[in-house]
Structure formats: structure tokens, C-alpha cells
Amino acid sequence: MKRWMNVMALAGLLATGAAAQAQLLQNGSFEVGPLPSNPPGFANLGGGNTSITGWTVTGSSIDFVEAYWTAANGLRSLDLSGQNAGGIEQAFSTVPGRVYRVDFALAGNPDGGNAIKNLQVQATGNPASAYTFDTTGHSTGAMGWVTRSYTFTATGTTTTLGFTSLDSGAYGPALDNVVVTDITPRAAAAVPTLSQWALLVLAGLVGLVALGRFRVRSRA
């Protein structure tokens, strides 16, 4: 029986570790959505638009970019200031108390506006963080993408992650390749939730019943 329980505990830890490494967002690189139809290689999407799978446009508008400049990952990326400052957000499942890291590629539209582009990132129940990118010396063929990170602690079973341009007018911060991972320290992540405890107890009971039947058959 001890051996059985050890196996169950090990399986639980392995499952927890696998879940911690999984990408939690849909379409983090914006590859799934309508093909931009404008000849320059981008489409303007207004606030409330949900045509980019998994995401909702916030604020004024964004530009959904395909061929206009080189993406950080895949073919598509975003300018978070379309006709004016806009943004995007997505809600996804989280575990209260766990720590998550958001990694994303940041650049800026090099064709106009101030050289310094400003972006804000915020998750439900957590402080917002601001990021900047200097477009000086960059172009649509050499965007200069950099990776930035934002860390938050989940306050509920659903978290909404939002990216917002802080630049008025067009020509804002560019965004691509958003990845969210659970980085909770292993000791904390290994503590089962109530539902996980219930599953472990049920599995243990099933194992005990199976073991009892095996012993009865062996004696017979």
C-alpha cells in the first residue's frame, strides 16, 4: 500500500510540474485571425473587436500587422495605437495564489510619433507596470524587438491580462509573442488544491479496492 501511495504522490507532482510549464494563453503570437486586407499589410481593428482569436481589442483601436514590418515571431504582430491609443486583453484560467510570468516581445512603430513608445501591462488584482521602447535607429525591416517580462500573483480562478498603449495618436508600441507560464516555486506548487486532494483520495480508494480484490484472488 505504501508503494501505491508513493506512486500516486509522484504522479501528482509530475502533473503539477507539467501544468506549470504549459503556455496558458491562446494565440499569444496573434497568428490566428482575419488576414489583414489593406495593401500596406495591416488592418485597423476598433475597440471591442474579437476577430483575433482569444483577444479583445480595448481603447480606441489597434493595427493588426502582417507584412508591413517584420514580426518577432511568426508573421503577425500588433501596433497598439491604431488611430489612437488602444490595447488588447485576454481572460484565462489561473490558480489563486500562484505566481505567473508574462514574457512578451516589445518594439515600436518607427514611422511616426515620439521615438519613445510606452506600453502598460496589468493582470487582474495586480499593479500595472510600464515599459518603454526607443525606436531611434530602427525601421520596418529592423524593428529591434526585445523581450520583456511582467510577473503577477493570481487573485482568482480567472485572470484578465491586458496590454495598453500609453501613446496618443497613431504610431504606438508594437507587441508580439506573448507567453504566460506558472513559475510558482515547486514547494508551493506541490500543495494540492481541494479538487486535487479529492482526486488523490478517490484514486487511493480505487487502488485499495483493486489491491483487496487481488489479495482475495491470490488466496483462492
In a domain, 56, yes or no: yes
Of 157, 179, 161, the residue nearest 101 (C-alpha): 179
Residue 208 has pLDDT above 80, yes or no: no
Indicate the residue type of 161.
L
Indicate the residue type of 125.
G
SS3 string of 2-32?
A: HHHHHHHHHHHHHHHHHHHHCCCCCCCCCCC
Range of the domain at 64: 22-184
| CA distances in angstroms from 82 to 22, 88, 143, listed in the order given | 32, 12, 18
| Range of weakest confidence among 8-17, 40-49, 67-76, 206-215 | 8-17
How much is the pTM?
Answer: 0.77
Residue 194: the pLDDT is 57
In a domain, 13, yes or no: no
In a domain, 60, yes or no: yes
In a domain, 128, yes or no: yes
- Classify residue 10 by burial, with Cβ atoms within 10 Å: 0-12, 13-18, 19+: exposed
**Residue 154: CATH number of its domain:** 2.60.120.260
- Is residue 143 very low, low, confident or very high in pLDDT (cuts 50, 70, 90)? very high
Residue 39: the pLDDT is 63
In a domain, 111, yes or no: yes
Residues paired with residue 173 on neighbouring β-strands, in sequence order: 108
Residue 214 has pLDDT above 50, yes or no: no
- Classify residue 22 by burial, with Cβ atoms within 10 Å: 0-12, 13-18, 19+: exposed
List the 86-93 sheet strands across, edge first.
56-59, 86-93, 158-165, 116-123, 129-134
* Domain count within the chain: 1
Do 73 and 170 contact (CB within 8 A), yes or no? no
Question: Tell me: the pLDDT tens digits for 58-78?
Answer: 999 999 999 899 999 999 999
- Is residue 186 very low, low, confident or very high in pLDDT (cuts 50, 70, 90)? confident
Residue 217: the pLDDT is 55
In a domain, 101, yes or no: yes
Residue 10: the pLDDT is 39
- Is residue 36 very low, low, confident or very high in pLDDT (cuts 50, 70, 90)? low
Residue 127 has pLDDT above 50, yes or no: yes
